[in-house]
Amino acid sequence: MTLTKAGIRIEDLHLSFGETKVLEGIDMVIEPGEFFAFLGPSGSGKSTLLRAIAGFGPTPRGRILIGDRDIAALPPWKRNVGMVFQSYALWPHMSVRRNVAFGLEERRMPAREIGPRVEQALETVGLLHLADRMPAQLSGGQQQRVALARTIAIEPQVLLLDEPLSNLDAALRVQMRRELLALQRKLGLTTIFVTHDQEEANTTSDRMAVLDRGVIQQIGTPQQLYDHPENAFVAGFLGTANILKGAMQGADFVTEAGQRLPVAPAAAPAAAPAADVNRIVLRPQNIRIAASGGDIMGTVAHREFLGSQIRYLVDTPDGQIIVDTLHSSGPPPYDEGAAVSLSIDSQSAPLLAD
């Protein structure tokens, strides 16, 4: 399939539903061929932003470019984008083949070109052998792939996917997200994938934008966002984070309760001067728990067995801190009520400033 790669550039985009501001000051550049995720909680504006790129919904203020073309004023069908909606709704009375052909017929493509295009799209998603089945005779994952074939058949420049795996069970989701990524790599198609599931975003995307309340909080690779969150929202949304308040004193971060934590200078965000630092992010797996000798004293309030890990909730003068330890075999070393001492891995604790 011959698809032209094109990047997407969004400049100072604002969007409101009536009086309600839903997107504010969105700026981002998505590279040609990139798999890019929009990640954020429910209501953060992910679908609204995706739909704005596709040309649905209220007209936003700002610019949207695909390649060199400003598409903000074009109707959806002239934008060269393919969108898979969350409810992918196949036509129940049409075969798989007819479902995929439908969009091409709508675009008034000559009949002799439609046949080969449909076959190629179905081949790409591995469903050519089921072309004559009806949607009701397919599994959920197969239906999802028909929806995808229907979209790539129109040969869009960019592919927009709004929670395309949300209707599948957990095991199928994991399998489909791998297949989706493999397909995206094969086609080299610039793709935006909307999800509220951080694992799904982490495992698929080259880069992602984290949204909260209509504002981009941070853009980067999954690992950059996890290791170097720029604010408490990103730190807490990507994985579990203990966020303690305090301030820098020399090379130490001193918590509100007066506990002194040695931190590496590299942990400080480049943009934030030490004087402005007011919080530290401690990941559960980067805290060591011992009977004594650490930086923070506490008491085990609760213990959870997670299989590969044991999670301790430890009451400390700075509030409850979550600590994860690897589990291989044998009884867990600390019981509820045990006095323990926590030490932090100074290389891995991001510092935050407001």
Ligand X SMILES: Nc1ncnc2c1ncn2[C@@H]1O[C@H](COP(=O)(O)OP(=O)(O)OP(=O)(O)O)[C@@H](O)[C@H]1O
Residues in touch with Mg ion (CB under 5 A)? 47
Stretch that binds ligand X, among 17-25, 146-154, 297-305, 322-330 (CB under 6 A): 17-25
Interface with ligand X (CB under 6 A), residue from 34, 46, 103, 231: 46
Under the criterion CB under 6 A, does residue 45 sit at the interface with ligand X? yes
3 state SS of 170: helix
Under the criterion CB under 6 A, does residue 59 sit at the interface with ligand X? no
Alpha-carbon gap, residue 236 to 218, rounded angstroms: 13
What is each CA distance from 54 to 58, 76, 205, in whole angstroms? 11, 6, 20
Amino acid at 196: H
Stretch that binds ligand X, among 35-43, 273-281, 283-291, 312-320 (CB under 6 A): 35-43
Total number of residues that touch ligand X (CB under 6 A): 12
Under the criterion CB under 6 A, does residue 43 sit at the interface with ligand X? yes
Quick one: which H or E segment has residue 20? strand 20-30
Minimum distance, C-beta of residue 286 to ligand X, in the bound complex (Å) = 30
Minimum distance, C-beta of residue 58 to ligand X, in the bound complex (Å) = 8
Per residue, what are the HEC states of 42-78? Answer: CCCCHHHHHHHHHCCCCCCEEEEEECCEECCCCCHHH
Q: Which of the choices ligand X, Mg ion, none does residue 77 contact, using the CB cut-off of 5 to 8 A by kind? A: none
- Which residues, 6+ apart, have CB-to-CB distance to 303 below 8 Å? 310, 311, 312, 313, 332, 334, 335, 336
The residue whose Cβ lies closest to Mg ion is 47
Minimum distance, C-beta of residue 207 to ligand X, in the bound complex (Å) = 18
Amino acid at 295: D
Interface with ligand X (CB under 6 A), residue from 30, 39, 44, 71: 44
Nearer to ligand X, 17 or 77 (CB): 17
Q: Within 10 A of 65 (CB to CB), how many other CB atoms are there?
A: 16
Stretch that binds ligand X, among 27-35, 36-44, 141-149, 202-210 (CB under 6 A): 36-44
Q: Which of the choices ligand X, Mg ion, none does residue 44 contact, using the CB cut-off of 5 to 8 A by kind? A: ligand X
Nearest residue to 259 (alpha-carbon basis) of 246, 250, 278, 268:
246
Alpha-carbon gap, residue 79 to 55, rounded angstroms: 8
Q: Which of the choices ligand X, Mg ion, none does residue 204 contact, using the CB cut-off of 5 to 8 A by kind? A: none
Minimum distance, C-beta of residue 4 to ligand X, in the bound complex (Å) = 28
Minimum distance, C-beta of residue 30 to ligand X, in the bound complex (Å) = 18
**Which region, left, alpha or beta, applies to residue 43 given φ > 0 means left and ψ of -120 to 50 means alpha?**
left
Interface with ligand X (CB under 6 A), residue from 2, 42, 59, 329: 42
Altogether, the residues listed in the chain come to a count of 354
Alpha-carbon gap, residue 142 to 98, rounded angstroms: 15
Nearer to ligand X, 46 or 97 (CB): 46
Alpha-carbon gap, residue 173 to 167, rounded angstroms: 9
Under the criterion CB under 6 A, does residue 10 sit at the interface with ligand X? no
Q: Which of the choices ligand X, Mg ion, none does residue 91 contact, using the CB cut-off of 5 to 8 A by kind? A: none
Interface with ligand X (CB under 6 A), residue from 35, 36, 39, 48: 48
Minimum distance, C-beta of residue 46 to Mg ion, in the bound complex (Å) = 5
Minimum distance, C-beta of residue 42 to ligand X, in the bound complex (Å) = 3
Considering only residues 168 through 227, tell me which ones interact with ligand X, judged by CB under 6 A.
196
Minimum distance, C-beta of residue 144 to Mg ion, in the bound complex (Å) = 17
Enumerate the β-bridge partners of residue 11: 63
Minimum distance, C-beta of residue 38 to Mg ion, in the bound complex (Å) = 9
Sheet holding 309-316, edge to edge: 287-290, 339-344, 296-305, 309-316, 319-326
Q: Which of the choices Mg ion, ligand X, none does residue 87 contact, using the CB cut-off of 5 to 8 A by kind? A: none
Quick one: which H or E segment has residue 131? none
Footprint on this chain of ligand X (rule: CB under 6 A): 17, 20, 22, 40, 42-48, 196
